[in-house]
Amino acid sequence: MSRKIVLYYCPNGKEYNRLGFSISKKVGKSVVRNKIRRIYREAYGRIESQLKKGYDFILIARKPAVDVSFQEACKELYNLCRKGKLLQKKY
């Protein structure tokens, strides 16, 4: 959990990961919600190769996510995955 997003995850028993979003109307109108979704989807794509396989991820955006930059989103998502021990070990 961070100021801008909450990350939930659970094993899905498959050989790939899935990503879902939950962004309330309280966060903003559809244009704002879709912008947040696009930014975090791209940030997820950047770190996807470093993640363990076989998980479902749910990202829940909070109100401060409205003014997130792409670099902040990448760093935030990476830190949440590291905190949840979802990154593959480097050899």
The string of pLDDT tens digits covering residues 58-76 is 999 999 999 999 999 999 9
Angle between helices 30-47 and 70-83 (to 10 degrees): 60
Q: Are 7 and 81 in contact (CB under 8 A)?
A: yes
**What pTM was computed for the model?**
0.89
> CB within 8 A of 48, min separation 6: which ones?
17
CATH assignment, 5-83: 3.30.230.10
Domains in the chain: boundaries: 5-83
Order of strands across the sheet that contains 5-11? 5-11, 55-61, 18-22
pLDDT in tens, 15-39: 999 999 999 999 999 999 999 999 9
